[in-house]
Amino acid sequence: MFNFHGYPWLIHRLAYRRTNHKNFHVRGYKEKGSINTPLELAIQNQIDRFSLVIDIIDRIPALHVSGAHVKEKMLNKQIECRNYAYEHGTDLPDVDGWTWPY
């Protein structure tokens, strides 16, 4: 899984003729969304952290059952973030200000 800041087809073009390229999946900008918060735009383009976790769970058969509760949690967090953005016009503060723990 590769989350690219630009158009995913750029990475696909680099990897297309390589061995095992079918095991390679790229997420990137799809020109979806309009006047949104940064996280809303990322959710619509499926490049937010929640969509990436969901995609990994969906792509790895061993995680389908054991990761179901995590997938549901990520979907609920996306809904919560979208609702907050709609109501307040900004991203949810605990998601917007999130940093990697030390």
**What CATH number is given to the structural domain containing 18?**
3.40.50.920
Q: With respect to residue 10, please indicate whether it lies within any of the assigned structural domains.
A: yes
Asked if the structure places residue 101 within a domain, the reply is no
Asked, for residue 42, whether it belongs to a domain, the answer is yes
Is the pLDDT assigned to residue 89 strictly greater than 80?
A: yes
In-domain check, residue 76: yes
In this structure, is residue 39 part of a structural domain? Answer: yes
Q: Please report the pLDDT score of residue 93 as a whole number.
A: 92
Tens of pLDDT, residues 48-66 = 999 999 999 999 999 999 9
Model confidence at 32, in pLDDT bands (50, 70, 90)?
A: low
Q: CA quadruple 26, 32, 38, 43: dihedral positive or negative?
A: negative
66 belongs to a structural domain = yes
Q: Which domain holds residue 59?
A: 2-96
- Report the mean per-residue pLDDT for the chain: 86
Query: How many domains in the chain?
Result: 1
What is the model's pTM?
0.77
